Amino acid sequence: MWAVYRNTFVRFQLLIAVVAGAVLVTSGFRWPVAGMFFAVMQIAAVLGAMWARSARRPAALLVLAVGLFGITSAVAHADGPAAPPQPDRTGAYQTTPTAYSVPGYTKPDPDKATPKELAVAVDAVAQSASHGIYSSNFVWTLVAGFLVMFMQAGFALVETGLVRAKNAAHTMSMNFLVYALGMFGFFVCGFAFMCGGLNGTAIGGPVTLGGTPTLNSMLTVGSAINGDSGWGLLGTTGFFLSGGAYDSSVIVLFLFMMVFMDTTATIVTGACAERWKFKSFFVYSIVIGAVIYPIFGGWVWGGGWLAQLGYRLGLGHGAVDYAGSGVVHLQGGALALITAYLIGPRIGKYGRDGTVRPILAHHIPMVQVGTFILAFGWFGFNAGSSLAGADGRIGIVAANTMIAGMSATLSGVLYMWRKTGKPDPTMMCNSMLAGLVAITSPCAFVSPVSAFIIGAISGVLVIVSVFFFDKVKIDDPVGAISVHGVNGLWGVLAVGLFADGSYGAGWNGVGATEYLGVAGKGVTGLFYGDHTQIIAQAIECVTGVVWNVAVGGAVFWVLGKLFGSNRVPAEVEIAGLDVPEMGVPGYPEFVSTMSASDIPAAQVTAAQQEVPQLATSVVTPA
């Protein structure tokens, strides 16, 4: 051991280690400083050992050159070494301007900056803040739209589960294809009719998306008031999303509005299920998206005459329909009413003596799963209608939505339990959906207690309505008229009753600074001091029913003449629509299929006598 220690190189290494440790301690454990000292001394030791022999001196010079280069680089990067980055667990970094977050921003020196430099810096920060707000609103609106689009799956499951197995593929296919059919009509002209005139009246486009200034052409009638050009009837720009509609904010609005429209189109498929000819359904769904839905929608949401009732006639804030109890659900329910009436009841639904013969759903679990999907998507439907992720009201909107669905479910179950002795799972689902429909319009304007009351009423109202329409022999296989039509109407009226004035200041161009003598007061109902709002709401309800029954009924009648009938022949309905209309059964392994030609002639004749709306048979009875 002593022989090893006597080696000069070894002793020098020990000295280096001791001194490096001392440097580490005295420098406050700054490892870069101690490490640099250790590296320099190591190079010196190696050079000393190599220089003792002349043959190794060239190598020693090479080591010296490399060492000097490394030390120089280390010194260059060790000037004021930064502390190691620390985790940011609160997102505080987002408040630090960078070249990415605030383009054009340079932090001004408080002691030397000129007024111009300060103005430039402030403007850069303001632009960045504006961009952040609009970007978050875009994302919020798009994600909400995606949720509403997923509701299509919920409707498909609910409607398909409520019909018989022999019609499952046909019903599911209608719910699938209506998405594309309605969107096609809305893309071609529906969006232009509905939203093309957003800035064509004094109301203006949604400020949360930048105001959509390129949507500025509205067909109007009457005299100009408050800077508008008359009563708004129809938007006239934005066809095929071209021209001024080829705009980033406009297309975000299009996506959101489109999925709402498809909800209306889907409602009709449930009311006409198990007997609607697919060709008629195909064309009718396009017309809904292109003409029927968007024109009425534009009157309420597109700056049209119903929205103008406030600042032009003094009727509250005009027709107020936050997320569409009227625009979406009342329209769908009214269309369901007239089409179900015109197409007639299913074979065997009503006896000659007027008795109602229940036709049972084939898949209750499917119905219940579909209902939960719809309830989930409804958060996008209602809270998303703010079109703003930064709107402080969205939490209340979401909670009110949930509360109304809850109270409706409970009131419906208790009512059915008392009426029939059983809770009835299908009515349980329809009660929840009725509560969600009813709260859709008032969700932003009422308190949670009011939301509970609105929902509880709707849970019973839907059941009473279902029994009423059966009594008058309007066959609605899924209860669409009662869920969407009746409770959509109730939801629109609820705004005029329960709105408490805490939200909606400036809605539809009314009361931007004060309303009813109170600064910041928003939409207010009858129970909170405004007796005019309920009038505007009632006008929306009457208009929605009349428009959809008249126009929707006329279009349906014309299609019936065009296709011979809107309804499949008796033998097709008896056999099931899956194979005759779609070419494949919904459940080939579990349900035996029957050809329409195998239906006995006597059964076909009896059905035709029972239901006058039945189409002429396509198969000649033997």
Q: What backbone phi and psi angles, to 5 degrees, belong to 33?
A: -65, -50
Q: Which runs of consecutive H residues, i.e. helices, occur in 291-393?
A: 293-301, 309-313, 331-343, 364-382
> Which residues does 144 contact at the CB level (< 8 Å), separation at least 6?
256, 379, 380, 381, 383, 384, 385
- Pairwise CA distance, residues 531 & 13, whole Å: 96
Instruction: For tokens 């109202």, name the residue.
Output: 461
Poorest-confidence range of 2-16, 132-146, 545-559, 588-602? 2-16
* Strand segments (E) across 550-618: none
Nearest to 319, CA basis, from 548, 544, 549: 544
Task: Give residue 10's Cα distance to chain centre.
Answer: 76
Amino acid 91: pLDDT: 65
Are the beta carbons of 536 and 315 closer than 8 angstroms?
A: yes
The predicted model gives 347-367 an average pLDDT of: 94
How sure is the predictor about 27, in pLDDT bands with cuts at 50, 70 and 90? low
Amino acid 251: pLDDT: 97
The predicted model gives 106-115 an average pLDDT of: 83
Poorest-confidence range of 54-68, 152-166, 395-409? 54-68
Amino acid 621: pLDDT: 39
Poorest-confidence range of 4-13, 206-215, 333-342, 401-410? 4-13
**pLDDT tens, 364-401?**
999 999 999 999 999 999 999 999 998 999 999 999 99
- Model confidence at 466: pLDDT above 90: yes
- Model confidence at 4: pLDDT above 50: no
Pairing of strands 231-235, 514-515: unpaired
Are the beta carbons of 346 and 475 closer than 8 angstroms?
A: yes
* DSSP annotation string for 461-520: HHHHHHHHHHHTT---TT-HIIIIIIHHHHHHHHHHHH-BSSS-TTGGGS-SSEETTEET
How sure is the predictor about 601, in pLDDT bands with cuts at 50, 70 and 90? confident
Inter-CA distances, 363 with 328, 334, 366, 425, Å? 27, 27, 5, 11
- Model confidence at 14: pLDDT above 70: no
> What kind and span of H or E run contains 153?
helix 115-162
> What kind and span of H or E run contains 574?
helix 570-575
Amino acid 116: pLDDT: 87
- Pairwise CA distance, residues 287 & 308, whole Å: 26
The identity of residue 180, as a single letter, is A
Q: How many degrees, rounded to 5, is the angle at CA 553 between CA 549 and CA 556?
A: 150
Poorest-confidence range of 49-58, 66-75, 112-121, 162-171? 66-75
Inter-CA distances, 262 with 155, 187, 401, Å? 11, 12, 20
Average predicted confidence (pLDDT) for the chain: 88
How sure is the predictor about 622, in pLDDT bands with cuts at 50, 70 and 90? very low
Angle between helix 331-343 and 533-547 (nearest 10)? 30
Burial pattern 313-341, b for ≥16 Cβ within 10 A else e, equals eebbbbbbbbbbbbbbbbbbbbbbbbbbb
Amino acid 99: pLDDT: 73
- Pairwise CA distance, residues 476 & 470, whole Å: 8
How sure is the predictor about 189, in pLDDT bands with cuts at 50, 70 and 90? very high
